[in-house]
Structure 1
Amino acid sequence: MSEERKEQDEQRESRLSDAYHRMLNEVTEDLEKLEDKTSKAITEALENARDRVQQASDLTREEAHEVMDYLRRDLQDLGAYLDNRSSDWRGWLQIDLGLIEASIKNALERIADRTRVEITELTARAQVMGEWHTGEITGPGELLCKQCGHPVHMTKVGRIPPCSNCHNTTFRRGPGGTEAE
């Protein structure tokens, strides 16, 4: 890969990761203001956050939509985790909380504590995604390779790398995740 192409890829990843952070914060703030937290309202909050972040950044419409889909997938998985377990949202991450950026930790804490039922409703009505792929952006947490089971520990928002063990490109959430094998 040429140095120029590598630099372009790194810049794009940085833009998308930054957009993920900003959308998560926008959605969190919107959800705290809502009294009606139906799945329709949550979907609208995601779409509004997408539009605001896209307008305030150098993202294309397609990139903004892509980041919104990544954030929706992660929130759906968090909601399903909370719905299926008695433990709190910290178990979903499967990594040391000290390794997580404070802003992501704060946003997840606010969303999980205030919108547990609402995210569960969104999850139940949404298409089940259940797979994470190399190259996608995701928030912190543990992903397991669907081929060999090797963990990938995401300590911050970023692009999912191939499995370091077998180079597979498809993952599921770690032991705390929602997908059953």
Structure 2
Amino acid sequence: MTDNDQQREHEVRGYERMLERLRERLESTGEAVEQGFHEALDTVRERSVALGELTRDEADRVSGWLQRDLEDAAEYVDTAHGTYSDWLHMDLQLVENWIWDRFSSVADRTRLQWQALNRELQAARRYHTGEVTGPGALVCRDCGEVLHFKRTGHIPPCPKCHGSRFERAARQSAR
């Protein structure tokens, strides 16, 4: 395994640990989501750094990817009146149960926050090669090729056109 592969796996594990801690924190605090989400995300990011799991730069990158994914899922469910299953654009049997439980729990809380704050998320919803994303399908913004993620992973260049800009497949079908 190359150093680059090890780094990529390290970031994927960091994403999954942050997601789990975020879910646990939001469930245990009982705080209003609109006030608690960003504070909870900051706390789990700092915890990853304090435990030596991620460097400051890695933790900032990973928490940004996690926030993007959760806000994207929450907005899709809110505006398209779909479900998290629609957003993932895949059979839920393909998603490992433990990641689905964690992701949907936090995404649902994030949906409430999104409604309360009515934030403009256009720039944050873009996905790029090299970033980490949760399970689901992404569409290349250059050629339309669909990339399927059965689990958390790094976004590769488009296998068809080598493009590096993507968006959720569910978002395109909802238009």
Shared fold (TM-score, shorter chain, > 0.5): yes
**SS in structure 2 at match of 1:143:** strand
Matched residue count: 175
Provide structure 2 residue ranges, at least 5 long, that are not aligned to the other structure.
none
Kindly report which structure 2 residues correspond to 1:59-138, keeping only aligned pairs within 5 A, or say none.
59-121=54-116, 124=119, 128-138=123-133
Q: Which residue of 1 aligns with 2:18?
A: 23
Change (3 A) 1:40 1:114: closer
Shift of 1:113: 4.3
Write out per-residue CA displacement over residues 83-141 of structure 1, whole angstroms, 9 at most, x where no aligned residue.
11222211110012122222211112322445531244456266741210001111111
Asked if 1 retains the 8 angstrom alpha-carbon contact of 2:33 and 2:112, the reply is no
Q: Measured at CA, do residues 158 and 122 of structure 1 come closer, stay the same or move farther in structure 2, by a change above 3 Å? A: farther
Shift in alpha-carbon separation, 1:43–1:126, aligned structure 2, 3 A: farther
Contact 2:88/2:137 (CA < 8 Å) preserved in 1?
yes
Tell me the secondary structure at the aligned position of residue 147 of structure 2. Answer: strand
Distance in 1 (alpha carbons) for counterparts of 2:8 and 2:138:
19
CA deviations on 1:147-167 (whole Å, 9 max, x unpaired) are 011101111111101111111
Q: Aligned to 1:124, what secondary structure does the other structure show?
A: coil
- Contact 1:20-1:67 at 8 Å conserved across structures: yes
Amino acid at match of 1:24: L
3-state SS of the aligned residue for 2:27? Answer: helix
Aligned-partner Cα distance in 1 for 2:34–2:168: 23
Q: TM-score, normalised by structure 1?
A: 0.86
**Structure-2-length-normalised TM-score:** 0.89
The structure that is helix-richer by fraction is 2
Do 1:79 and 1:123's aligned partners in 2 also have CA atoms closer than 8 Å?
no
Q: Does 1:177 align with 2:171?
A: yes
After superposition, the CA RMSD in angstroms is 2.3
Runs of 4 or more, structure 1, over 6 Å off, are 178-181
Bigger mean CA deviation after superposition, 132-141 or 35-44 = 35-44
Percent identical among aligned pairs is 36
Structure 1 unmatched runs, 5+:
1-5
Pick from 165, 168, 175 the counterpart of residue 160 of structure 2: 165
Judge which range, 13-22 or 105-114, deviates more.
105-114
